[in-house]
Structure 1
């Protein structure tokens, strides 16, 4: 294929988007010239000239960029030439393409354009993806189909169709975020700089002093009103953000790939090859978990970083949704065909506990055993009680440090005559922090767990944000075993599975020493054998100890 240009309609999009630069310039210039005593006609002429110069500058830059940018797709490579002053030529083998992301803001959607981002799986900053900005929507879709043509030859057949679609009842989970309780403050902070640049002193010292006097004069009325107003703004903002980000949400399976589309104003379509999928993760932030919700994200190679202004994780497969629905969807995604896994031995049973078992047929046809829980992966088993003690000790230590800081404050402030700031209310901080810290410690221990299934390594941990990850064992390329001084005393260690996908490593925290080593040895047979030796009848232990 010959070298092809980007779409010339980009000039139309740039001319409209340049108004975001021209309007503030005109407003500031008009304010300055009016202060200098210019006549209205002269001021209008100067502002019109400045607006034209701003729009012209943007158009000239975009025209030069379009002239310098060319791309082509050959039988085995995707090539891109860019650069106005410094030329750059990038060439990526087609078999290195991991994902294709099509995104269009409202202006580009009207003009039939889209920005195409091709994920390559590299970890070199901007080199992780190629961007064609913009192509026509038709060319973008054709390029997506060409780069991700479908299942590889010999891939197992699997039922396709729609995996999930938006239900507007899920919007009730949108406010279950810490940002919903700071909505008013965020709005004021976002408006401060633009208003200040336009010369509007909405937050002057006089205004702040008047607000403070009103709050301090009627605290029992003012404080609840401020809190309620702040939360109301946050809840409204969260709902609007949910609608903009997840309207028209649809997750479907095409032959050999997953496709996610969403967005009200800015549309986005992400296509991910199934063979690049290395697992699935269920995330449960604290407030969302208390409300019975969760999110599902992909553990995959080739997903780029979030763009500037992007509000959602690029790996997110769902909006906030009910926990049971998230588990069902994760089950379907985890069951999709994957690269060949290593031979899987029967799942081991830590601490000698008995579990019912069922047979699971792997793609290679062998039978392995997996705990019969009716779940999409084995139910994670709990960790030793020493892990709970470690979390309780950390919680008590943190509160003790806080109490010591409060005592130091009382001594320091009292010596300066600040008696109003050293009252009994200071001790409310550690008194309220102690039960909260203990609850979080117990909840963090309850969230600890791990399991080894026929195809996945499962790990779960976290209190503020609980994460349950089912990692495909075929995607594990190495292990990191860490053990702090306090872990050694407690007989615990942390096992980290290294992978090229997602976060790069996934941890099994504070697992028993023998159980952790045996878990790593059996998850990828043969990988740790040179470093492990049996000691009598005990499980495998580290040969380097």
Structure 2
């Protein structure tokens, strides 16, 4: 490449002006309410609103002009460089061989204007945005050129992914898994709470005392049980609709391809489109994630264990998600195709691990019973049926404790360390043994008495560590020694039962 310094796209000014409406609307609403409460005439109110709106838009655009003038980037044969900063200048430079991922996103405003945001992931584990270079925004064609150049080394000369069958693409039958999330049950209540809070900020009272009193007078004739059922049904209906809408927005036109240059490319999104490209040589395994309701519904999700990914708080899905909620057989097929390995029967954990979980469950039930007794002693209005809660918690706690034990398992293949655990969210990770850079053994006093140990594999990818919970003491040491031969041996204390509990 020529290595010339390039600027962001000029249409960023127009994008900023449009997106400044997110500031204009609430501020103008508050200003209007304040002025009308002071009995200001309508014409001055309109003039004040217009002036405030113009000032906000001009201020945002001026800032964006300064940012545009201060930001340049270039790609040479060896490095990716970015200069930015208005008050404090910053020059960042990374070697091209450290580029792990290229993430291209475009929200509705940028899509209409033909723009996109490019994030270049470096694989660093940083607490802020230093782990990636962000070009916001560039033209759509420039974004595609950057993706090809940084991960493929230049223009693609081989067949395009569309010429071959994808690893996976959206099937609308998967939509049935969208409501299998806790948000389907609390979504309605959360929506009402958010709306109330947002309107309260701008001075609009969603629930006035008079309105609530009038509503209560109307509903008193309805049986309490029927009212509760109707409220729960309405909450479930709104939550389910929200979960389905979120699924459609996040996974519209979903497609996962393997490109000829040795990369995986994921594309998805309805309003905000996303194209994530990651190099397969940086892939360190896959994770099968099964939240409780999705697991009961026979579904799962596939996530990548890879370096260089980050998640913005504004995003609706984690960056490492390779599939939406899909049937379990489909998830297993995709995981096998992405990170091939031979099947393995997971080794069950000792009965002592089940006993530990039963004790935790018993402690939770006792705590709930004590809390109920304390409230009963302090408040005379506690109804007798309040004791139904700790009574119902006994079988529920026992069930989930047994389920958590059944979820424990580990195994070893020629390529992967496989570990499974969890009940609220059951996770099965197949971690590439070549990507394990260290071990950490943990043993509490109670684990030591039960002959159990927790083994943590550290890696530069994914969450940074993956855990085998409550394995037999000897099995944990053997597993670590077999998974990465020679790494643990120097730290094992010969003949000392306590000596193996260390970090490697």
Which category describes the TM-score, using the shorter chain as reference length? over 0.9
- Residue 325 of structure 1 corresponds to 330
| Match status 1:250 vs 2:260 | no
**Structure 1 pair 430/95, CA: closer, same or farther in 2 (3 Å)?**
same
CA RMSD for the aligned pairs? Answer: 2.0
Per-residue displacement from partner, 1:380-431 (whole Å, max 9, x unpaired)? 1111111111111111121112112222222222xxxx2x31x321211111
What is the 5 A alignment of 1:203-214? 203-212=207-216
Confirm or deny: 8 A CA contact 2:168 2:257 kept in the other structure: yes
- Residue 359 of structure 2 corresponds to 393
| Match status 1:202 vs 2:202 | no
Equivalent-residue separation in structure 2 for 1:265 and 1:376 (angstroms): 39
How far off its partner does 1:242 sit?
0.4
Q: 1:529 aligns with which of 486, 489, 494?
A: 489
| Match status 1:235 vs 2:257 | no
How far off its partner does 1:13 sit?
0.7
How far off its partner does 1:213 sit?
5.2
Q: 1:264 aligns with which of 249, 264, 270?
A: 270
- Residue 281 of structure 1 corresponds to 287
How far off its partner does 1:2 sit?
1.4
Equivalent-residue separation in structure 1 for 2:143 and 2:216 (angstroms): 55
- Residue 158 of structure 2 corresponds to none
Q: 1:469 aligns with which of 429, 435, 452?
A: 429
- Residue 186 of structure 1 corresponds to 190
Confirm or deny: 8 A CA contact 2:441 2:501 kept in the other structure: no
- Residue 517 of structure 1 corresponds to 477
Equivalent-residue separation in structure 2 for 1:190 and 1:23 (angstroms): 17
Equivalent-residue separation in structure 1 for 2:8 and 2:270 (angstroms): 25
- Residue 405 of structure 1 corresponds to 371
Confirm or deny: 8 A CA contact 2:342 2:413 kept in the other structure: no
Per-residue displacement from partner, 1:207-259 (whole Å, max 9, x unpaired)? 33444555565312211111000000000000001000000000000121100
Confirm or deny: 8 A CA contact 1:174 1:238 kept in the other structure: yes
How far off its partner does 1:25 sit?
2.4
Query: Which deviates further from its counterpart, 195-204 or 15-24?
Result: 195-204
SS in 1 for 2:48: helix
**Structure 1 pair 513/150, CA: closer, same or farther in 2 (3 Å)?**
farther
How far off its partner does 1:46 sit?
2.0
| Match status 1:496 vs 2:500 | no
SS in 2 for 1:445: helix
TM norm structure 1: 0.86
Confirm or deny: 8 A CA contact 1:258 1:272 kept in the other structure: yes
How far off its partner does 1:29 sit?
2.1
Equivalent-residue separation in structure 2 for 1:397 and 1:34 (angstroms): 58
Per-residue displacement from partner, 1:455-501 (whole Å, max 9, x unpaired)? 00000000111000000000000000011111111111011101000
For structure 2, the 5+ residue unaligned runs are: 155-162
TM norm structure 2: 0.93
For structure 1, the 5+ residue unaligned runs are: 152-158, 336-374
Q: 1:88 aligns with which of 90, 96, 113?
A: 90
Equivalent-residue separation in structure 1 for 2:38 and 2:256 (angstroms): 58
Confirm or deny: 8 A CA contact 2:443 2:501 kept in the other structure: no
Confirm or deny: 8 A CA contact 1:214 1:222 kept in the other structure: no
Confirm or deny: 8 A CA contact 1:448 1:509 kept in the other structure: yes
Confirm or deny: 8 A CA contact 1:215 1:223 kept in the other structure: no
